[in-house]
Chains A and B, each alone.
Chain A
Amino acid sequence: MLIRTFSSECIKLRHSYIWIVLSVLPIFSVLIGCANYVFNRGILQNEWYSLWTQVGLFYGEFFFPVLIGICCAFLCRFEHINQNWNSILTAPVPIRDVFLAKLMMVGLLSAVTQAFFLSLYFIAGKWVGLISPFPSETLGWIFRGWVASLAIGGVQLWLSMRIRSFAVPVGVSICATLIGLGLYVNHLGMFYPYSLLTIGMGVLSQDSLAMMEHVLFYGMSGLFIILFCISGIRRLKKTDIVA
C-alpha cells in the first residue's frame, strides 16, 4: 500500500523542476566555500577537514534545513490547490500511508541532495589539489545529516499540511534554523531537530561523536520523526478537509 502511494507521489513530481532548486543551493555552497578555502589557505591547513568546514558551513547550517522546508511546502502545495486533498483522501489507501509517502519523498529528495553535495565536495577537493586520502568520516556526516533531515522533514510536513501558504512554512524553517544555531552554541542542540543537523553533519566541530552522543543523536532524531508523524497523521484523520 505504502509503495503504491509512494509511486503516485513520484508521478506528481514530473515536470516540476524541483531539481533545479535542489541542485542550485549545494552548488553555490560548494563554490563559495571553495573560493574561501583557496583565499585562506594560510590558516586552513587541515586539508579535507578544512575544506569541509568551508563548504559545509552555509550548506549544513542554513541551506539544507531550509531546502527541506521548501521541499515539504512544495509537496503539500499541489495538494492544497485544486482540491486534491479530496481525491487523495477518498482513495482507498490508509491515511497513515498518505503522510508516510510524503515523508519518504522528502527522504528521497534529501538523500539525492546529500549525495550530490558529497560528490561536489569530492570534485572540489580534487580540483583545489588536496593530496591526503578522502576521509571516511564524510560518509558518516552525510548519513547523519540525512537522518536529521528526516526529523526536520517530519516537522516541516506537519507544518506545511496545516498551513496552506507556501512561503509561511519556509519562513518558519528559516527562523527555526536560526534559533537552532543559538541552541547549538548553548549545547542544547540535541533537543532540537534543526540543530541535530549541525551536530550530525559535523560542520562546526569535526570531533567524532562519543558513543553516548551517537545514541542520543539517533534516539532524538527517531523520537522527533515518530512524534511528528503521529501528530501529522492524527491531524489528517481528525480534521475536516477544507478544499
Chain B
Amino acid sequence: MTEMISTYKLSKQYDGVYRVKDLNLKVYEGDIYGFLGPNGAGKSTALKMLLGLVKPTDGGVNMFGKEFGANRLFILKNTGSLIESPSYYGHLSGLENMRVMQRLLNVPNRNVDEALRIVRLESHKGKKVSQYSLGMKQRLGIAMALMGFPKLLILDEPTNGLDPAGIQEIRELIQSLPQRFGMTVLISSHLLSEIDQIATKVGIINNGELIFQNSMDALRAQSKRTVALRTQNISEAKSILQKYRFTPVHQDDYLIFEDMPDEQIATINQLLVTSGIGVTRIEERRKKLEDIFLELTGKVSSL
C-alpha cells in the first residue's frame, strides 16, 4: 500500500504550549481516514500543517512520498481541501467563486459543472454567495475541493451546518469517492458516530497528541462484550464460583464476567441453581464506541 500522508513528529508550539505534539499520522491510498478529536484538540492546526498553511515548529510532512517543502506545488495540485469554515467571496456568485478556483487549478469547464452537480448546487450557482445558507456555503466549499478531482481530499468537519438529509448525502458522497474517483479521503470530525459510519481508518487526537491510530475494526474490537449476572445472594454466589476457577468482579449488585461462550454461562447458571441461589438476571453488555472514545480522551486529559 502506498503512503499518501505520513508525518513524523509533527509539532506546533504557540507561546510555549504544544497545540500539536509528536504527531505521526499515516494515511494509505484508498483509505477513508477519520481524524477524530474533541473541539480544540488540534485537528485544524494539524490539517493546516499538512497543507503548509501553518509552519511546524518541529517534525515534517511527507505527502505522496515526497517532502512538502520542496514539492509544494506538486502536492497541492493533487490535493483538494476544505479547512475550517468554507472560503468564499461573498460579493461573487457561486459559479464565479468556482471560476476563481478553476483559474488557480487550471482545470477545464466541465470539472466546474461536474463538481457543482455532485454537491447539487447547480440551481443556485447564479446566486451571490453572501446570500447562501451555511449548508450551501459548505457544499460550495466541498465542490471547490472536488473540482480538481485530486488524488487526496482533506475535509475539515465537512458536515458542519448541514441538515440531517444533507449530512446523509455528503456521507454517501464521501463513501463513494474512493471507488468512483480513486480518491483517498482524510476527514476530521468531533463526532464519533460520523466517523464510525464512513471511515475505514481512524486516528484519535486529544490535547494535540495522537492517542489511537488503527483500522476502524480495531477500534470496534476494543468494545468487548461482558456478561453480567444477578443473583439473590451476590457474595455467596461469588465465593461458590471462585471455587470453580471463575473470576467474576463484583460491581453494583452484579457479577461481571468477561465475554464467554454460551456453554460456560449455562454451567455457571446450573452451578448456582444447584447450590440453592436463585439467578434473577443474565445480561449481555457491550461497551459503546462512545464510551471508548470518552475513555480514551477522558483518561488522557485527567492525567
A touches B (Cβ under 8 A): yes
Q: Which residues of A contact B (CB under 8 A)?
A: 4-5, 7-8, 11-12, 14-16, 78, 81-94, 238-241, 243
| 13 additional contacts (CB under 8 A) given A86-B81, A243-B83 | A5-B103, A8-B103, A11-B103, A14-B96, A78-B89, A82-B87, A82-B89, A85-B53, A85-B87, A87-B144, A90-B53, A92-B76, A240-B48
Total inter-chain residue pairs, C-beta < 8 Å: 92
Q: Which residues of B contact A86 (CB under 8 A)?
A: 48, 53, 81, 83-84, 87
> What's the least CB distance linking B137 to chain A, in Å?
9
A98 nearest in chain B by CB position: B104
Q: How far is the CA of A83 from the CA of B89 in the complex (A)?
A: 9
The yes or no answer to B51 lying at the interface (CB within 8 A) is yes
Q: How far is the CA of A239 from the CA of B73 in the complex (A)?
A: 18
Q: Which residues of B contact A (CB under 8 A)?
A: 48, 51-55, 73, 76-77, 79, 81, 83-92, 96, 99-101, 103-106, 128, 144
Show 5 residue pairs from A and B whose CB-CB distance is below 8 angstroms, ordered by the A residue. Answer: A11-B103, A78-B90, A82-B90, A83-B83, A86-B81
A16 close to B84 (CB less than 8 A):
no
Contact pick for A7, options B79, B96, B103, CB 8 Å: B103
> What's the least CB distance linking A69 to chain B, in Å?
21
Q: Which residues of A contact B88 (CB under 8 A)?
A: 82, 84
B98 nearest in chain A by CB position: A11
A93 nearest in chain B by CB position: B104
Q: Which residues of B contact A16 (CB under 8 A)?
A: 91
Q: Which residues of B contact A238 (CB under 8 A)?
A: 55
B45 nearest in chain A by CB position: A240
A243 close to B84 (CB less than 8 A):
yes
Q: How far is the CA of A94 from the CA of B85 in the complex (A)?
A: 23
B84 close to A83 (CB less than 8 A):
yes
Residues A91 and B87 in contact in the complex (CB < 8 Å), given A11-B96, A14-B96, A241-B53: no
A89 close to B53 (CB less than 8 A):
yes
Contact pick for A84, options B89, B105, B128, CB 8 Å: B89
Residues A4 and B106 in contact in the complex (CB < 8 Å), given A11-B99, A90-B79: yes
A7 nearest in chain B by CB position: B103
B85 close to A83 (CB less than 8 A):
yes
B81 close to A92 (CB less than 8 A):
no
> What's the least CB distance linking B248 to chain A, in Å?
54
